[in-house]
Amino acid sequence: MPRWDPNPRDRLAVAALEMFEERGYDATNVAQIAERAGLTKSTFFRHFRDKREVLFGGGELAELISEALRAAPVGASARDALAGVADAMGASAFTPERHDFVARRHAAIAGAPELQEREALKNVALTRTIADELAALGSADLEAEITARIAALAISRSLTEWIAGPPGAPFAPIARRELAGALAAARGA
């Protein structure tokens, strides 16, 4: 691949995923990922701190969630605000075109303890993002924290269901259903 092709972040993520699948996470290094992507090792480090981070992007998902929650109408319920998150995720992060990559990424993470750890840390950060944004929308701190944890669980369940489903299926309806069900279950507890 020529060095001037666009989207070096995406190219590095695809190259890393391919190499993790072929060689395993532990047997793959940054130089090999960069070479596979047709880039340099220094380009890799301009975009990612380390090879664990390459499958997690920067803070794009957290920013997407924040933007969706900030776009909620004044006075919107947490459920309605979170439905906007489901829609935003389905329109950007978990599109039918990204289904194969997301499913392969999910499998790669499941096969590497270091990636599982990074995934857990990212999920904690996303939960914190949701809680902070819900608090900014007017939820009490405890309510925001509990709702954020429920939302994180629902998003995780939605992702698992979406990955297992047909590649062309949209993510948002699955996530909306899971969010509504999880919030209803929490109210009934």
Residue type, 46: R
Q: Which residues contact 64 (CB under 8 A, 6 or more apart)?
A: 88, 89, 92, 93
pTM confidence score: 0.88
Note the pLDDT of residue 187: 85
| DSSP secondary structure, 133-149, as one string | HHHHTT--HHHHHHHHH
Note the pLDDT of residue 5: 55
Q: How far apart are CA 155 and CA 86, in angstroms?
A: 8
Q: How far apart are CA 56 and CA 178, in angstroms?
A: 23
Task: Give the pLDDT mean for 117-133.
Answer: 95
The pair of three-digit structure tokens given for residue 36, joined into one six-digit string: 């596979």
Question: Which carries the bigger pLDDT value, residue 52 or residue 36?
Answer: 36
Q: How far apart are CA 76 and CA 16, in angstroms?
A: 40
Tell me the CA distances in angstroms from 89 to 25, 42, 62, 126, 145, one per residue in order. 27, 31, 10, 13, 21
Q: Give the three-class secondary structure for 48.
A: coil
Q: What is the pLDDT of residues 145-172, one digit of tens each?
A: 999 999 999 999 999 999 999 988 999 9
Q: How far apart are CA 34 and CA 94, in angstroms?
A: 25
What residue ranges define each of the domains in the chain, with the CATH number in brackets? 8-54 (1.10.10.60), 59-188 (1.10.357.10)
The pair of three-digit structure tokens given for residue 110, joined into one six-digit string: 């499941």
